[in-house]
Amino acid sequence: MRARDFLLETDTKGFVKKFIPWVAHQLEIDQLPPIELLDKPFDTTFGAYNPENKSIRVVTGGRHPIDVLRTLAHELTHYKQDIEGRLQAMDGATGSKEENEANANAGVMMRNFASNNPEYFGMKDSSFAEEKEKDQLGLTADLFDDDLDALLTRACDMILIDQTVNSEKYGMVAACVYDPEGRAVFGVNTADAGGKRRHAERVAIDEYTKEYGKPSTDCVIVTTLSPCSEAMRDRHGEDCTSLINSLGIKRVYCGYVDPSQHETHMEFRLEVTHNEKLKELCKRMAETFL
C-alpha cells in the first residue's frame, strides 16, 4: 500500500489499530489500557491519558493519520510512566520531565515506524520506482502524479514528525530534490544559528548537493508550499524562486500555492497536486503561519 492510499485513507481508526501493536511492543507494554477513539476534540485537546481509570482518549476525526499516531504514542508513554510509578498529578504539564519524555518518545517512535514499515510510507525502495516502465520515460517526460504525490506525502510526514521533535527549530514546510536516477533528498524549513529561517527548498538543495553534487536541470523540486519570491527579513539567503532559477530546474510540484507570493520572475513550470486531500493538508499546514 502506498502513502497516498494508506496515510490519507478515510478509515483513520483502522489505521490506528494497525499501529497499536507496534507501539506497544516498542514501549514494552504487556497489557494495553482502554483506548477510546473520538470524532471531535474534547476539553480543547486531541488526546489525553486519565491516570484515575488508566484510559486513553484520542481524537481521530479531521486529523492527518500520522498526527493521530503521534498523539497515541505520546499518551501511551504517559500510561507506561504511570504503571511504572513515575507519573505524578502535574507531570503532564508543559516542560515537565515526563511530558518531555512523552514528546521525545513520540517523535522517535514515528521515525522508527517509518524506517521499519517503509511500505506504509510509499518508500518501497530509495528510488520510489514504479512498475510502469518509468526508466523508458525518463524524468524529462511527464512523471506520473502518483510518484510525485508519494514524495509530497512523505514531505508532509516529515513536517508532522519533526513538529513533535522540536516545533521551534522545524517549520511547517518540507521539500525534496528528485533526480533522474530516482533519488529523493528531503529538507524541512529550519532555523539557522542566527535565528533566520532556511527555507525547505534551500535545505533540500543543500543536502542534495552535499551528497550528489549540484542538482541537474532535469531534477524536480517537490514542495508542500510553492517557492517564495518576495523579500523576507527572517529568511536565510535569497528567495527560493531565484535559487531554483539559478540551477536551471524547469519543474516544481507543490501541494499548495502561497497567495502572498508572486510568480513574476519564475522560470520554471509550477504544478499543483490534483490529490484534493493532499492539497487540503498542505493548505492547512501553510495557514498555520501565512
**24-54 pLDDT per residue, tens:** 888 999 889 999 888 777 777 788 999 999 9
Judge whether residue 142 has pLDDT over 60.
Answer: no
Percent of the chain with pLDDT over 90: 37
Extract the C-alpha cell encoding 212. 550528489
* Residue 115 zone, left/alpha/beta (φ > 0; ψ -120 to 50; rest): alpha
The answer to whether residues 153 and 98 belong to one domain is no
Grade residue 127 by pLDDT with cuts at 50, 70 and 90: very low
Q: What is the pTM of this model?
A: 0.57
Residue 171 belongs to a domain: yes
List 47's β-bridge partners, or say none: 58
The answer to whether residues 95 and 142 belong to one domain is no
| Count of domains forming the chain | 2
The answer to whether residues 107 and 156 belong to one domain is no
Range name among 1-5, 82-86, 162-166, 205-209 with the lowest pLDDT average: 1-5
The answer to whether residues 203 and 263 belong to one domain is yes
* Last residue in a domain, options 69, 89, 115: 115
Cα separation, 164 vs 169, in Å, equals 11
Cα separation, 161 vs 153, in Å, equals 12
Sequence-distant (≥ 6) Cβ neighbours of residue 222 within 8 angstroms: 148, 151, 152, 155, 175, 176, 178, 184, 252, 253, 254
Cα separation, 257 vs 279, in Å, equals 9
pLDDT in tens, 51-90: 999 999 988 876 767 778 888 999 999 999 999 988 876 5
The answer to whether residues 200 and 256 belong to one domain is yes
Judge whether residue 144 has pLDDT over 80.
Answer: no
Grade residue 112 by pLDDT with cuts at 50, 70 and 90: confident
The answer to whether residues 141 and 223 belong to one domain is yes
* Last residue in a domain, options 115, 138, 165: 115
Q: 29-33: long-range contacts at Cβ-Cβ below 8 A with a sequence spacing of 24 or more?
A: 29/76, 29/79, 29/80, 29/83, 32/76, 33/76, 33/79
The answer to whether residues 82 and 182 belong to one domain is no
The answer to whether residues 94 and 149 belong to one domain is no
Mean pLDDT of 204-215: 96
Residue 121 belongs to a domain: no
* Last residue in a domain, options 69, 84, 115: 115
CA 226 to chain centre: 16
User: Which residue segment(s) compose the domain that 102 sits in?
Assistant: 3-115
